[in-house]
Structure 1
Amino acid sequence: MSTQQSIELVPDNELIGYDDTQGLAHRIVQLVALNIPFSDIFIYEDKPLMIKRPLGIFAVSDAEVTREEIESLFDILEPNWRTIITERAFDRSRNLNAARIRANCFTFNNRKHRGAVIRRFPSRPLPLAELGLTIHAQQFATLDRGLVLVIGDTGQGKSTTLASLLDRINSERSGHILTIEDPIETEIASRKCLVTQREVGLTSDCASFYVGAMDALREKADVVMIGEIRDEDTAREALALAESGPLVFASLHAKSPEQGLAKMSRLLGGSVMQSESLAQALRGVIYQALVPDMGGKFYHLANETITTNASVAQAISRQEFGKIRTLLDSAQVQGGCNTMNSVLIKLMMERKISPQHALAVSTDKEKIRAEIMRR
């Protein structure tokens, strides 16, 4: 494969200390340890090792990864992989010195080839104040009950935000924090809190997010984190938990806060009664996206925050999700809320991000486009 024609190479001066002659597992360890920004490592049979950076995918070298190398990596991650992979892809997490990885391993081209995508996470939660979240979003760590949803696309740092929120709680008050994850991504050491991290999987701690959430109340958790709300059962159990006393954090895939709340309402069954229950339990929403910096080497976190007030609760209970955007604009003045555009405009004024990238992640493109034109 000619990487020069299709995939740009990472500059040599960014790979100082990386030895491409080592085995695949050693090369992964080296890449994870390098102080260069990337989120994922792509490992495909008969293709070079690649990494995902803010401006796209780059090859680490021209050397192609062989089937034997990938199968040796699978042996390390899961001794029983040959049986598992005939039915589905599988995820495994491992600690690698200063970072933690999650590997998704799979076959492709009608099971003729092997591949894996490895995501890099911090080995420990990042300090909440260093993430770039607005102060309104950080305040959710001071809550003692209710439901907080962290919404965004895949790969936008939701897991990192959740881990940091939990670790802030862990450092400031006593209690029992219980996480339900698939798989466990960032390990959180017990500090002032007892921290229990349960992994989802047929051979792991609980069979599903739903089962883990059902168990949480009996396990006397004060704070529960549900790694992802994927289905109706998990949505209903997350709401039931929040109504029963614990503070519940959960992530949800959606393109905006209002779309996320509409999706949550549908998962709960779509009735007005269920939407009313959601409105009563919901304490807030964080919507977030990672935006490439001007040089394309780093990311900036931009987030939109809704702290539930009477007007927001009324819109949710009436299933008037289209009103939330207008309420968010007005609530920003009252406090407890901020729009994504306000964060993006600030980052543009500081020359940290480009108008193009701001427009790409904005939840109100018409307004951000008008703001860009004014400047």
Structure 2
Amino acid sequence: MDANILNQILEIAFQKKVSDLHFEVDNPPFFRGRGQLIRSKMPNLTPKDTEFIAATILAYNNRQLSDDLKELDASYALASGGRFRVSIFRQRGHFGIIMRVIPPHIGTFQDLNLPPVLAEIAQAPNGLILVTGPTGNGKSTTLASMLRFLNENQSYNIITIEDPIEFLFTSLKSCIIQREVGIDTHCFNTALKAALRMDPDVIMVGEMRDRETIDSCIKAAETGHLVLSTLHTQGAVSTINRIIGNFPPESQEIVRQRLADVLVAIVSLRLVKDKSGEGILPVVEIMRSTTTIMSCIREGRLDEIEKHIENGSSQYRMQSLDQHLLALYRQGRISIEDAKRLTHSMDFERKLMFD
């Protein structure tokens, strides 16, 4: 393995629009395309190969390989402009690398098949907007699309704090400052505190990873800023539970009150193959913070929230995961098998019967 071969592999992956590349010892490179992991016909990688890849990526980030490196997030770019989010880790003493391909252009809501109501949500004057879902289901892409909309339509000072920076923005109507953890700042929490002194209108935090970052995001929203961030959760209710559960029991009632006061919306994503098997569609749950839902959060009646999401579909343009699955199925865009696989509802079959 040398730099030319590595860059050729990455260039092919970028041009073929694969989503991920895997480099692991005793395996050839793997590619993920259309959701499927594909084994390449290249030779198996040796420990020296993966060490070289890791060292090359670290050098791009002005870092050096060290014996105490166990895992690290970074970014990498090709001279042609292709960009990658990188996870470097050790397994059985050897380096492994997984690289996520970052699309070259930031799509609009229409490009990405996202609900148009996201434009309305993104224009909230302040508060907390959360985009959630499993890894690799479009959270970063959706956040980038929301920032693109604000950049094109509002005169804001937008500060992003990311680990690593994924999509690169050019300031249009808004001024966009992008800071990377490990290079421009020590951690999310420190950068958030600094951001409040940088005249922000909007703060985007790549991920709310711990209690301190969650608390700082809520504080920033409480002080009149619009804060956008992500969590690795399955839906609105699990997101609220995760946030509250990060705090000790004696603090949870206060956190429920604070969260109810600042929460604007939770957008939860899952990706599914379209009926042709050639494309990918987002399935989106949208919860907006109505007076009723705010009361449910304050009083801990979270089991009622999904019903209120479904009842608010016409007036507030909310939708549950099941409602969107049913809509995509009715439109002939996804198969019934995929709809059943993604639902987390026990009565999805009953909803189908009334279709």
TM-score calculated relative to the size of structure 1: 0.87
- Find 2:71's aligned residue among 60, 85, 89: 89
Q: What stretches of structure 2 of length at least 5 have no aligned partner?
A: none
Range with bigger deviation, 121-130 or 242-251: 121-130
8 Å contact 1:177–1:221 — kept in the other structure?
A: yes
8 Å contact 2:265–2:288 — kept in the other structure?
A: yes
Letter in 2 for 1:185: E
In structure 1, the partner of 2:5 is 23
8 Å contact 1:42–1:51 — kept in the other structure?
A: yes
In structure 1, the partner of 2:82 is 99
Please state how far the C-alpha of 1:278 moved relative to its aligned partner: 0.9
2:225 is the counterpart of 1:243: no
* Per-residue deviation, residues 345-375 of structure 1 (Å, max 9, x unmatched): 1222233222222223224x22333344567
**Separation in structure 1 between the aligned mates of residue 288 and residue 235 of structure 2, nearest angstrom:** 15
2:191 is the counterpart of 1:209: no
**Separation in structure 2 between the aligned mates of residue 283 and residue 72 of structure 1, nearest angstrom:** 45
2:68 is the counterpart of 1:108: no
Correspondence 1:132-151 to 2 at 5 A:
132-151=113-132
Range with bigger deviation, 182-191 or 90-99: 90-99
In structure 1, the partner of 2:25 is 45
8 Å contact 2:118–2:146 — kept in the other structure?
A: no
Cα–Cα, structure 1 residues 32 and 265, in superposed 2: closer, same or farther, change >3 Å? same
Range with bigger deviation, 216-225 or 52-61: 52-61
2:11 is the counterpart of 1:32: no
In structure 2, the partner of 1:78 is 58
Letter in 2 for 1:143: A
**How many residue pairs end up in the alignment?**
346
**Separation in structure 1 between the aligned mates of residue 109 and residue 77 of structure 2, nearest angstrom:** 21
Please state how far the C-alpha of 1:127 moved relative to its aligned partner: 1.5
Cα–Cα, structure 1 residues 89 and 373, in superposed 2: closer, same or farther, change >3 Å? same
Q: What stretches of structure 1 of length at least 5 have no aligned partner?
A: 1-21
In structure 2, the partner of 1:305 is 286
**Separation in structure 2 between the aligned mates of residue 225 and residue 343 of structure 1, nearest angstrom:** 27
Please state how far the C-alpha of 1:63 moved relative to its aligned partner: 2.6
**Separation in structure 1 between the aligned mates of residue 82 and residue 284 of structure 2, nearest angstrom:** 24
Please state how far the C-alpha of 1:184 moved relative to its aligned partner: 0.6
SS at match of 2:99: strand
**Separation in structure 2 between the aligned mates of residue 323 and residue 137 of structure 1, nearest angstrom:** 23
Letter in 1 for 2:187: S
The runs of 4+ residues in structure 1 deviating greater than 6 Å are none
TM-score calculated relative to the size of structure 2: 0.91
SS at match of 1:133: coil
2:48 is the counterpart of 1:68: yes
Please state how far the C-alpha of 1:82 moved relative to its aligned partner: 2.5
In structure 2, the partner of 1:5 is none
Range with bigger deviation, 120-129 or 298-307: 120-129
In structure 2, the partner of 1:355 is 336
Cα–Cα, structure 1 residues 217 and 56, in superposed 2: closer, same or farther, change >3 Å? same
2:318 is the counterpart of 1:324: no
SS at match of 1:48: coil
Cα–Cα, structure 1 residues 273 and 289, in superposed 2: closer, same or farther, change >3 Å? same
Residue identity (%): 26
Correspondence 1:119-268 to 2 at 5 A:
119-201=100-182, 204-268=183-247
